[in-house]
């Protein structure tokens, strides 16, 4: 903005006229960063556009930002309401009236430009979304003619004006699922706004534990949209928050206002106006995008939404146009952009979606996400496990929706059941065991599931697997018995392997380890005869379970042999998802053998790289046992507290097999006996109240050995070769010892030196000889 706008001595239209922006009597919540962006942009640019969906608070942000600009605004800030304006003549008339031109209706562009040459003002244009290209040219000409005129515009759609600076306004921050503590909820802007507006109509209203979860859900339900929150808050005198949410699910025009401008009466009116502004092809894409839940990728749009009359080649342009109109929101996730519709935009799209299109859209949607799930889940080569879990998590809402759609038709039931079973790794790695069991229960009890008996049996086994992880052994046994009654499952090789493995896990949970051992050997044998990725992944899992059973039984030799086989398989596949479980079971074996230092090393090592919540909780448990055995009872009690809290969030109590539970109980009792019940309880509560991301500080005292830290970067084979190097063996001797080629040994040695940043073999020996 020219300095004259805020300077002295310039010609004034209305001396020291501050602004004619709408006035607000309510508190301005949040928007600190956005307000600073608008202020800086207005001061530095001739044209600034605040871009965002209807009801997001663009006008309020403009008013607060202008009020915070340096004083005085010598030529004034003029507000122009452009609601309903779409043509140049109406635009010119509105602007002319705002800058006090007489007979503004008769003013033409030439007269407006001539009058504005000496104008030094801030022109605030509200509701610009209907302006056509000719209108934008008028604004551009006006800025060029008036050397000291600055324009601040608010619009639902991007404005193509030369030199425009866009400030995109997103909804207010909302709490993630699971946050129910009123104090934590108050950290989010959407919650702050809702509570503030609720107190205007009900002064005694307070956010408490009774309805905190419901308030968080409401804020998420309306995507943190300020207008929606204000409309909902106005109803707390009449309805509970749960009732407001329930009514929104049934009535698209709720919550609604009893007064105000027509465009702000309901959210439906806002979205209807945005829909009308779109071209026919944009409207079609909008309705088709409503098939998606939460966010989606461009590839999904191209696969699901490309049927006629839309051309696949033009979908990206149409999508970009919907982004420009604030219909679609862009989320940058890593190296890829993802897209989503706000809930109110999705609901509008679904209301407008042709019923005739729905079956084909659902079919394409199912096809895409079934393929994506298999591709992500069954890929083994060079896949970062954090990335795998993140991708599964991003697609999860659409995957669940696809399962629900699939189970409505006998022709697609096998796909839905297969997808549900395919999610096993995601559920235990993300800690969503209860949620997983719920989806599996829905799928296997669907009337359509009888059309796909094999997939139904696999889903029953996966459900039993999750039940074992939640220590619900009786439920797991019933599920396994149901699966056993399905002939198609037992006649399928992979199905027989999965059934046998899960049945063995049930026996372990019931304390029948000797029976389970033979069954696990059978499952390992069945998986080993199959040559597909899924079977090899389950083979690693079965080996991990067998390793744990052997370790708990005190058969350390068998545990070591099984672990080595599992680690070799993990390394050969390049798949690390089961690696942590195998290394955890090695830690349990070391603990059973009273090698506490080694057990701590394994526990800390796995915690250092895993993002698997179930596995991480097991490791915290193991470290609690180790602390107790070392006599560090306060630390052990706190770690037990952190683990118990995590077990609760995972949907149950301690997840362990027979003897594992016994070890846990003995160690637990040891802590109580040494601390006393009261002190144990206090420390247990302290651990339970520690946020999961802060749990590492509870285990800082159990630092790994120098040797463990140094060798942590090496694979199992590389560590083995490093030990032989320390013995002074040559590459040829190592090759003969391990029955591999000398060239393979040379490659491993090169990798060892590179990973440890060492110059020669002698330095490797020094590290290997470090004390444990």
Q: What is the pLDDT of residue 494?
A: 95
- Helices of type H across 290-357: 298-304, 315-324, 343-352
pLDDT digits (tens, 9 = 90+) for 611-634: 888 889 989 999 999 999 888 889
Euclidean distance between CA atoms 17 and 368, whole angstroms: 59
Q: What is the pLDDT of residue 382?
A: 55
Preceding amide of 255 cis, omega within 30: yes
Structure-token match 């966010």, residue found: 295
Q: What is the pLDDT of residue 6?
A: 37
- Helices of type H across 177-258: 182-185, 189-201, 212-221, 226-233, 241-250
Domain ranges of the chain: 3-168, 182-265, 599-703, 709-768
Q: How far is CA 55 from CA 352, 362, 432, in A?
A: 21, 31, 34
Q: Going by C-beta distance under 8 Å and a sequence separation of 6 or more, which residues neighbour residue 646?
A: 431, 613, 616, 617, 620, 692
pLDDT digits (tens, 9 = 90+) for 540-563: 999 999 998 898 888 999 999 999
Q: Going by C-beta distance under 8 Å and a sequence separation of 6 or more, which residues neighbour residue 470?
A: 433, 434, 437, 650, 651, 652, 655
Kind of pairing, strands 165-168 and 47-51? Answer: parallel
Do the Cβ atoms of 170 and 51 come closer than 8 Å?
no
The SS3 call for residue 729 is coil
Burial (CB count within 10 angstroms: exposed 0-12, middle 13-18, buried 19+), residue 381: exposed
Q: What is the pLDDT of residue 609?
A: 83
Buried b (16+ CB within 10 A) or exposed e, 188-197: bbbbbbbbbb
Give me the average pLDDT of each 10-residue run along the chain (772 residues): 36 38 87 94 93 92 90 73 90 90 83 87 92 92 88 92 91 88 91 94 90 92 92 91 90 72 65 89 97 94 95 94 92 82 92 93 97 86 73 94 96 96 89 92 94 96 93 93 93 95 93 90 95 89 91 89 89 77 89 90 88 88 91 91 87 66 86 89 90 82 56 75 88 88 87 81 78 56
- Written as six digits, the tokens of 621 are 């448990």
- Written as six digits, the tokens of 354 are 């042709």
Euclidean distance between CA atoms 269 and 289, whole angstroms: 20
Q: What is the pLDDT of residue 16?
A: 34
- Helices of type H across 8-115: 32-44, 58-67, 88-98, 109-115
- Written as six digits, the tokens of 469 are 């992880």
Give the chain's length. 772
Euclidean distance between CA atoms 597 and 328, whole angstroms: 54
Q: What is the pLDDT of residue 452?
A: 95
* CATH dotted code for 3-168: 3.40.50.300
Q: What is the pLDDT of residue 383?
A: 62
Handedness of CA 402, 403, 409, 410 (dihedral sign): positive
> What fold is seen in the domain 709-768?
Arc Repressor Mutant, subunit A (1.10.10)
- Helices of type H across 689-730: 706-711, 716-726
Euclidean distance between CA atoms 282 and 749, whole angstroms: 59
Closest CA to 252 of 346, 347, 345, 342: 347
Report which secondary-structure segment, H or E, holds 120.
Answer: strand 120-126
Report which secondary-structure segment, H or E, holds 587.
Answer: helix 579-592
Q: How far is CA 635 from CA 423, 588, 590, 644, 737, in A?
A: 35, 19, 20, 14, 43
Do the Cβ atoms of 66 and 152 come closer than 8 Å?
yes
């Amino acid at each position: 903005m020219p300095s004259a706008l805020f300077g002295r001595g310039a010609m004034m239209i209305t001396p020291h006229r501050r602004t004619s922006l709408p006035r607000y009597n309510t508190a301005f919540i949040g928007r600190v960063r956005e307000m600073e962006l608008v202020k800086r942009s207005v001061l530095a640019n001739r044209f600034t556009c605040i871009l965002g969906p209807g009801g997001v608070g663009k006008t309020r942000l403009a008013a607060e930002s202008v009020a915070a600009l340096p004083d005085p605004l010598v030529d004034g800030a003029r507000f122009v309401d452009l609601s309903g304006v779409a043509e140049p003549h109406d635009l010119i008339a509105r602007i002319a009236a705002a800058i006090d031109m007489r007979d503004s209706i008769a003013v033409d562009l030439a007269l407006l430009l001539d009058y504005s040459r000496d104008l030094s003002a801030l022109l605030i244009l509200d509701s610009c979304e209907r302006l056509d290209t000719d209108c934008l040219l008028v604004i551009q000409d006006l800025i060029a003619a008036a050397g000291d005129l600055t324009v601040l515009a608010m619009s639902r759609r991007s404005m193509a004006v030369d030199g425009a600076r866009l400030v995109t306004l997103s909804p207010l921050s909302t709490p993630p699922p699971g946050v129910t503590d009123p104090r934590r909820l108050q950290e989010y802007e959407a919650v702050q706004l809702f509570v503030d507006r609720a107190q205007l109509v009900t002064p005694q209203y307070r956010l408490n534990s009774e309805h905190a979860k419901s308030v968080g859900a409401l804020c998420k339900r309306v995507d943190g949209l300020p207008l929606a929150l204000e409309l909902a808050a106005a109803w707390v005198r009449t309805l509970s928050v749960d009732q407001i949410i329930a009514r929104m699910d049934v009535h698209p025009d709720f919550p609604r206002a009893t007064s105000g401008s027509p465009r702000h009466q309901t959210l439906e009116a806002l979205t209807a106006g945005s829909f009308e502004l779109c071209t026919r092809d944009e409207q079609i894409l909008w309705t088709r995008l409503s098939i998606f839940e939460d966010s989606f990728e461009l590839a999904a749009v191209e696969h699901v939404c490309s049927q006629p009359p839309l051309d696949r080649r033009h979908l990206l342009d149409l999508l970009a146009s919907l982004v420009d109109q604030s219909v679609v929101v862009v989320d940058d996730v890593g190296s890829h952009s993802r897209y989503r519709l706000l809930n109110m935009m999705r609901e509008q799209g679904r209301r407008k979606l042709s019923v005739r299109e729905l079956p084909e859209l659902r079919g394409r949607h199912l096809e895409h996400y079934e393929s994506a799930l298999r591709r992500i889940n069954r890929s083994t080569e060079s896949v970062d496990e954090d990335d795998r879990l993140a991708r599964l998590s991003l697609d999860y809402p659409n995957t669940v929706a696809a399962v629900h759609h699939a189970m409505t038709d006998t022709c697609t039931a096998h796909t839905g059941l297969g997808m549900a079973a395919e999610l096993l790794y995601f559920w235990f790695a993300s800690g969503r065991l209860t949620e997983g069991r719920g989806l599996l229960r829905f799928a296997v009890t669907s009337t359509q599931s009888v059309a796909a008996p094999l997939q139904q049996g696999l889903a029953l086994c996966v459900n039993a697997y999750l039940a074992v992880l939640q220590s619900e052994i009786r439920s797991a046994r019933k599920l396994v018995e149901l699966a056993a009654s399905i002939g198609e499952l037992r006649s399928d090789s992979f199905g027989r392997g999965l059934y046998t493995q899960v049945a063995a896990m049930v026996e372990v949970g019931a304390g029948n380890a000797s029976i389970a051992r033979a069954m696990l050997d059978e499952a390992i044998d069945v998986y080993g005869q199959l040559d597909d990725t899924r079977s090899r992944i389950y083979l690693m899992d079965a080996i991990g379970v067998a390793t744990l059973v052997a370790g708990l039984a005190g058969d350390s030799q068998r545990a070591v042999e099984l672990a080595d086989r599992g680690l070799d398989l993990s390394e050969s596949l390049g798949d690390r998802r089961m690696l942590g479980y195998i290394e955890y079971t090695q830690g349990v074996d070391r603990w059973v053998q009273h090698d506490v230092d080694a057990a701590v090393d394994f526990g800390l090592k796995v915690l250092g790289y895993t993002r698997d919540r179930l596995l991480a909780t097991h490791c915290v448990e193991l470290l609690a046992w180790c602390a107790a055995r070392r006599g560090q009872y306060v630390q052990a009690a706190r770690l037990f507290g952190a683990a118990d809290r995590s077990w609760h969030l995972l949907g149950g109590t301690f997840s362990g097999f027979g003897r594992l539970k016994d070890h846990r109980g003995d160690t637990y009792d040891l802590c109580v006996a040494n601390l006393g019940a009261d002190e144990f309880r206090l420390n247990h509560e302290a651990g339970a109240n520690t946020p999961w991301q802060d749990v590492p500080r509870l285990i800082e005292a159990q630092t790994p050995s120098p040797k463990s830290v140094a060798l942590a970067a090496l694979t199992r084979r590389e560590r083995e070769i490093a030990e032989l190097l320390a013995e002074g063996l040559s590459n040829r001797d190592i090759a003969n010892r391990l029955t591999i080629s000398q060239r393979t040994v040379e490659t491993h040695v090169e990798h060892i030196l590179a990973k440890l940043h060492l110059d020669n073999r002698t330095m490797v020996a020094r590290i290997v000889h470090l004390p444990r």
